[in-house]
């Protein structure tokens, strides 16, 4: 039974269930929030508790009153969608590829377009020449946009929304055999570029997925992941 | 088969539009904005209590929505909750990073975190809404009030303690005991 009388000590640690609710409500300051987000990355049970609290408080959103924003707000948003992206070119590319590419892949193309900025767009007559993947998972806001050029074996990974953790993000290629092969650790935020080791290049095909796990920091790739992937995505050639 | 309510229809429409936006459909994204921006602006305004800051947060939120549309999972959250959660978290992040913005005047939203029973506008109270409100009503007034204030104004423990002029430990006690009771009530009735 909970002692309902005295106040808690300021630094008294909450149980996981309470911590999940505190994270959802936004009660935690930056350091505590970082710890909780890290836990959400590494602890499935805790992540489920966070989801459950999100569902419990969901009806409260109905109580926010609606306030019409000024018209210029949309223009500002729209201009930011254009920033660094080939804009119309994406749409044009979509039109002719629509039948051929699944929607997830389109999202990946788009995310790629957003990160790499204006780039020459292939015309329908050209052969596909680049692989892309968008890696996402259960962590809200965490998204990795990956592009890979088979000719140069250069991989470019744009990380967004990675919470603070002591562990480091490590990228794995997983082929049809289901075996995780590390491509090494990458930056926590922004763009990382690497040359894919020659023995892993042939694995990057349309049957492969890329997986992200959080690992102890290391200069060399690990042999195996220690935890569950926190984000994953299918490789698609465009 | 039960008749689809207005809410169900809106939900289905929004889910579809988010799916289209995920594949790069600008028009679908603009439709999402037109349908939801008043709600999301209300969220940002309530959290930030500053029009300019709320407008910035709203723009940030929609850019995130555009970039993350592919991650929306209709099985895990209703579309409006997913959108509003992004707006709320974006507004809270902005508020925390804004330093002095955290202690703002209460003029815009004085009433909003009051201890009054919640008023649901336009929406038929659904079962989960009834359960949540019943369980919130079963809490001690100060527990309920502090939890509602945390949600609607996006305050951290430290900000709540300052706002209420109470020791941090006291505020934490109210919130945590309230949350435990709330969970017990919602999970077990």
Domain boundaries along the sequence of chain A: 16-63, 76-237
Say how far apart CA B55 and CA B68 lie, in whole Å: 20
Q: Do B26 and A62 touch (CB under 8 A)?
A: no
| pLDDT of res. B189 | 74
Domain covering A76-237 in this structure, CATH number: 2.60.40
Say how far apart CA B171 and CA B26 lie, in whole Å: 45
Say how far apart CA A72 and CA B117 lie, in whole Å: 36
Angle A34-A40-A41 (CA atoms, 0-180°, nearest 5)? 90
For residue B102, is pLDDT > 80? no
Q: How confident is the model at residue B98 (pLDDT cuts 50, 70, 90)?
A: low
Q: Please state the domain extents for chain B.
A: 1-99, 120-189
Say how far apart CA A194 and CA A217 lie, in whole Å: 17
Q: Around B126, how many Cα atoms within 13 Å sit in the side-chain half-sphere?
A: 12
pLDDT tens digits for range B40-58: 999 999 999 999 999 999 9
Chain B hits for A61, Cβ within 8 Å: 43, 80-81, 84-85, 88
Mean pLDDT for the stretch of residues A1-10: 58
Mean pLDDT for the stretch of residues B109-117: 36
Contacts of A114 (CB under 8 A, 6+ apart): A84, A85, A145, B67
Chain A hits for B37, Cβ within 8 Å: 68-69, 73-74
- Architecture of B120-189 per CATH? Orthogonal Bundle (1.10)
pLDDT tens digits for range A38-70: 788 778 889 889 989 998 999 999 899 999 999
| pLDDT of res. B6 | 63
Contacts of B164 (CB under 8 A, 6+ apart): B146, B171
Q: Which class is B1-99 in CATH?
A: mainly alpha
Q: Counting runs of H as helices and runs of E as strands, what totals does chain B give?
A: 8, 0
pLDDT tens digits for range B120-154: 344 445 788 889 999 999 999 999 999 999 999 99
| pLDDT of res. A72 | 94
Mean pLDDT for the stretch of residues B108-120: 36
Chain B hits for A141, Cβ within 8 Å: 64, 68, 86, 89
For residue A197, is pLDDT > 60? yes
């Amino acid at each position: 039974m909970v002692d309902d009388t005295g106040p808690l000590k300021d630094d008294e640690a909450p149980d996981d269930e309470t911590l999940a609710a505190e994270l959802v409500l936004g009660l935690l300051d930056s350091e505590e929030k970082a710890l909780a987000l890290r836990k959400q990355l590494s602890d499935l049970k805790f992540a489920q508790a966070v989801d459950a609290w999100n569902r419990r408080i969901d009806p409260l959103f109905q109580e926010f009153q609606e306030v019409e924003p000024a018209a210029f707000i949309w223009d500002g948003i729209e201009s930011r969608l254009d920033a660094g992206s080939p804009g119309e070119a994406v749409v044009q590319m979509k039109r002719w590829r629509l039948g051929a590419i699944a929607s997830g892949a389109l999202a990946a193309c788009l995310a790629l377009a957003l990160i790499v900025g204006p780039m020459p767009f292939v015309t329908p007559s050209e052969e596909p020449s680049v692989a892309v993947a968008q890696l996402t998972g259960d962590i809200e806001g965490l998204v990795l946009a990956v592009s890979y050029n088979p000719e140069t074996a250069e991989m470019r990974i744009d990380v967004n929304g990675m919470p603070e953790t002591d562990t480091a993000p490590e990228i794995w290629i997983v082929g049809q055999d289901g075996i995780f092969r590390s491509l090494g650790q990458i930056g926590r935020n922004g763009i990382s570029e690497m040359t894919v080791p020659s023995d892993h290049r042939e694995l990057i095909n349309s049957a492969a997925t890329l997986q992200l796990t959080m690992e102890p920091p290391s200069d060399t790739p690990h042999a195996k992941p220690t935890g569950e992937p926190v984000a994953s995505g299918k490789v698609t050639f465009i | 088969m039960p008749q689809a309510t207005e809410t169900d229809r809106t939900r289905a429409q929004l889910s579809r539009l988010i799916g289209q936006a995920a594949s790069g459909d600008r028009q679908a994204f603009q439709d999402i904005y037109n349908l939801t921006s008043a709600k999301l602006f209300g969220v940002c305004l309530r959290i930030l209590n500053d029009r300019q800051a709320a407008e910035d947060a709203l723009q940030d939120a929609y850019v995130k929505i555009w970039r993350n549309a592919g991650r929306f999972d209709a099985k895990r959250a209703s579309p409006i909750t997913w959108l509003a959660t992004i707006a709320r978290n974006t507004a809270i992040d902005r508020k925390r990073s804004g330093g002095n913005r955290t202690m703002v005047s209460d003029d815009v939203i004085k009433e909003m975190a009051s201890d009054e029973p919640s008023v649901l506008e336009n929406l038929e109270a659904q079962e989960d809404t009834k359960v949540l409100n019943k369980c919130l009503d079963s809490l001690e007034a100060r527990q309920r009030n502090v939890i509602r204030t945390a949600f609607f104004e996006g305050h951290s423990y430290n900000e709540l303690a300052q706002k209420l002029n109470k020791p941090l430990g006291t505020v934490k006690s109210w919130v945590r005991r309230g949350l435990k009771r709330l969970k017990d009530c919602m999970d077990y009735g």
